[in-house]
Structure 1
Amino acid sequence: MAAKVPVGCEPVVGSLTPSKKKEYRVTNRLQEGKRPLYAVVFNFIDSRYFNVFATVGGNRVTVYQCLEGGVIAVLQSYIDEDKDESFYTVSWACNLDGSPFLVAGGINGVLRVIDSGSEKLHQSFVGHGDSINEVRTQPLKPSLVVSASKDESVRLWNVHTGICIMIFAGAGGHRNEVLSVDFHPSDIHRIASCGMDNTVKIWSTKEFWSYVEQSFTWMDLPSKFPTKYVQFPLFIASVHTNYVDCNRWLGDFVLSKSVDNEILLWEPKMKENSPGEGTVDILQKYPVPECDIWFIKFSCDFHYKTAAIGNREGKIFVWELLTSPPTLIARLSHVQSKLPIRQTAMSFDGSTILSCCEDGTIWRWDVVATNSATS
């Protein structure tokens, strides 16, 4: 990942808009290593582990637990056999028996599926022709994951059987690196992806769902599975004029972020019987100052009430998503946080915000009841 030289930030913790005011303070700061951390994610797949999170950086995947009083406990660590691996993304998933899996990918283009119960590598998925920029899990069927790659494709995988079910690429696919991908929260067939071609594309698996069902009962080698190529998306949106490096569904709406210092909330309006065509209604804009480098991803709490995003100066902006006009409920900064925050993770109820940084640090912010600012 290309990094830009960041500038400093003020040693304050602030919050705005009195009606929605929230204050957070730093309760922990961990130095995981010297290599940049590109992803941090809570486990929203299993209610037993809502306070457990994972990070990736270099060839390491580390699992932690958030405890009371700002305490962060290290639970386990996986070091990839390839010293040259640099993981960019990680997602929680689970096997059919409910055991928690971690799926990580990065510069080598190989997906590592780790059984965090046995603390062993479960499987490796080879297929992408270049680095993997993001992995996401289907919340309604968490043994399905989708990966976005520099090879201009999106792939749908079954972590239970190791099968690559579908590849979204080709004539109507992305024309540059795919940087982000997400499953629709309630429509099991919909996927949104975005990338360096400045577009967001919405795909559907509905027509090919028999391939998904077949992937669970396939008895032959995964390499013999009749992987389906999906070349044409349902919808193509050009709502940004530069790289789009993060997109998330908000119900039937889409939140997407480019390198132009803002997140957009928009509604795709597809034309019936005209795949790929339609219009976009931009509903709201969430400004994020000094967020003009690529590969900075935002996160939301479990119910998508709030979103948190870092910037290249080490600051975090927390937005209330369900208000109009948009409400910035907190702006977080610390004198020692000066480098780009690659990703944030919000806890189940949004009371804890984690950030992973270019310098290998993990920051924990917790909401406080007091209205006085803390430095």
Structure 2
Amino acid sequence: MAKRLLGSEPVEGSLTPSKKVEYRVTNRLQEGKRPLYAVVFNFIDANYFNVFATVGGNRVTVYQCLEGGVIDALQSYVDEDKEESFYTLSWACNIDGAPLLVAGGINGIIRVIDTGSEKLYKSFVGHGDSINEIRTQALKPSLVVSASKDESVRLWNVHTGICVLIFAGGGGHRNEVLSVDFHPSDIYRIASCGMDNTIKIWSMKEFWTYVEQSFTWTDLPSKFPTKYVQFPVVVASIHSNYVDCNRWLGDFILSKSVDNEIVLWEPKNKEHIPGEGAVDILQKYPVPECDIWFIKFSCDFHYNATAIGNREGKIYIWELQSSPPVLIAKLSHMQCKSPIRQTAMSFDGSTILGCCEDGTIWRWDATATP
């Protein structure tokens, strides 16, 4: 019998531990011919939990999941730069609660779209190269972080347009940063990873006054005293190749490389010497044929499960709250053969989306409510 990993009880209406779930394909959309690199549900606002967005080429598209497998296209934005290729997007919101979409890609400019007015809200220029991932601080959803090919991570305030902090320098990444994530409860912490094969944990605690100042700044954003955070509190060498996705699971971290698995590990505090000795590997979640980089996994709202695609168009759903690991489901369809670059799990995990390199979106639904 698998035991609970984090000691918390399952949330009513969410995937329960150690339970196999049957899913079936309920929809397939061909959005275009360009690869789709990201698909994300809106977990920021309970009114829009069934709304998701995708990016492909210079287009951002917003959809709604309806009953019976129906997917309704709500909005679409085409960037003015035809050469743009978006790689990532994240839901955020203004301080008045208005839902925003924050997208970035090959040209290094972050576009903030106001989905209420259906207009471009702001553009952030600062990164010197392409943007590989954007994530939102769930506790303060006006704050987003961006991970870039320019070897830096930046913290932005979408309300004021200010770049508050730059995580780079002496102890920073030495190659492209591919993924970044906010700690779910420690508002000061982020984790980043990239092509230097490392995962770095950073603390904003000593710079937090600047974060607070960014909300009340009335001068030009360019005049804000942006600060460099040069040294992480933990450097972990878990993988021997590019690390292209990391997510916090409580105080633990899930990360993956090109080794056909997701690794769950526990970072040690900063009293330990940074490096391989500063972590405990807890368990591994096998994902066959997942040996190409830029494949990102997703979790449901309560982090009960994770879903990840592979280069053959299959999706593996692993339960996260048990030890040893339990495979909830393996999803495949004879017509889905293209690499799945990212998945999205709905709030309760009952709907799984996959966006593919061939421009398709696949929707899977649990045949019985978990």
Common fold by TM > 0.5: yes
Task: Tell whether 2:130 aligns with 1:117.
Answer: no
Specify the SS of the correspondent of 1:207. Answer: helix
Q: CA deviation at 1:279?
A: 1.3
Relative to structure 1, the CA distance from residue 270 to residue 277 in structure 2 (aligned partners, 3 Å threshold; closer, same or farther) is farther
The AA in structure 2 aligned to 1:67 is L
Distance 1:108 1:271 in 2: 36
Quote the residue 1:40 is aligned against: 39
Task: Tell whether 2:193 aligns with 1:187.
Answer: no
Q: Percent identity over the alignment?
A: 85
Task: Tell whether 2:84 aligns with 1:101.
Answer: no
User: Deviation digits for residues 248-285 of structure 1, max 9, x if unmatched?
Assistant: 00000000010111000000012438677961100010
Q: CA deviation at 1:20?
A: 1.9
Q: CA deviation at 1:42?
A: 0.2
Q: CA deviation at 1:369?
A: 2.7
Distance 1:237 1:267 in 2: 10
Q: Which sections of structure 1, spanning at least 5 residues, go unmatched?
A: 1-17, 371-375
Specify the SS of the correspondent of 2:278. Answer: strand
RMSD in angstroms over aligned alpha carbons? 1.5
Conserved in 2, the CA contact under 8 Å of 1:268 and 1:278? no
Distance 1:112 1:274 in 2: 39
Conserved in 1, the CA contact under 8 Å of 2:18 and 2:319? no
Specify the SS of the correspondent of 2:244. Answer: strand
User: Deviation digits for residues 269-327 of structure 1, max 9, x if unmatched?
Assistant: 12438677961100010010000000000000000000000000000000000111001
Quote the residue 1:243 is aligned against: 242
Aligned residues: 354
Relative to structure 1, the CA distance from residue 262 to residue 276 in structure 2 (aligned partners, 3 Å threshold; closer, same or farther) is closer
Summarize the alignment of residues 273-288 of structure 1 with structure 2, pairs less than 5 Å apart.
279-288=278-287
Conserved in 2, the CA contact under 8 Å of 1:189 and 1:206? yes
Q: Which sections of structure 2, spanning at least 5 residues, go unmatched?
A: 1-16
Q: CA deviation at 1:130?
A: 0.3
The AA in structure 2 aligned to 1:177 is E
Specify the SS of the correspondent of 2:215. Answer: helix
Quote the residue 1:324 is aligned against: 323
Distance 1:54 1:354 in 2: 11
Quote the residue 2:345 is aligned against: 346
Specify the SS of the correspondent of 2:289. Answer: coil
Quote the residue 1:15 is aligned against: none
User: Deviation digits for residues 137-167 of structure 1, max 9, x if unmatched?
Assistant: 0000000000000000000000000000000
Relative to structure 1, the CA distance from residue 277 to residue 333 in structure 2 (aligned partners, 3 Å threshold; closer, same or farther) is closer
Q: CA deviation at 1:81?
A: 0.4
Summarize the alignment of residues 1-375 of structure 1 with structure 2, pairs less than 5 Å apart.
20-272=19-271, 279-369=278-368
Distance 1:279 1:179 in 2: 22
Q: CA deviation at 1:104?
A: 0.1
Distance 1:286 1:274 in 2: 27
TM-score under structure 2 length normalisation? 0.94
Conserved in 2, the CA contact under 8 Å of 1:232 and 1:276? no
Specify the SS of the correspondent of 2:240. Answer: coil
Specify the SS of the correspondent of 1:208. Answer: helix
User: Deviation digits for residues 315-343 of structure 1, max 9, x if unmatched?
Assistant: 00000001110011101100100010000
The AA in structure 2 aligned to 1:309 is I
Conserved in 2, the CA contact under 8 Å of 1:307 and 1:318? yes
Conserved in 2, the CA contact under 8 Å of 1:45 and 1:92? yes
Distance 1:19 1:88 in 2: 34
Distance 1:127 1:109 in 2: 8
User: Deviation digits for residues 99-118 of structure 1, max 9, x if unmatched?
Assistant: 00000000000000000000
Distance 1:60 1:178 in 2: 23
Distance 2:353 2:49 in 1: 14
TM-score under structure 1 length normalisation? 0.92
The AA in structure 1 aligned to 2:338 is L
Specify the SS of the correspondent of 1:20. Answer: coil
The AA in structure 2 aligned to 1:70 is G
The AA in structure 2 aligned to 1:245 is D
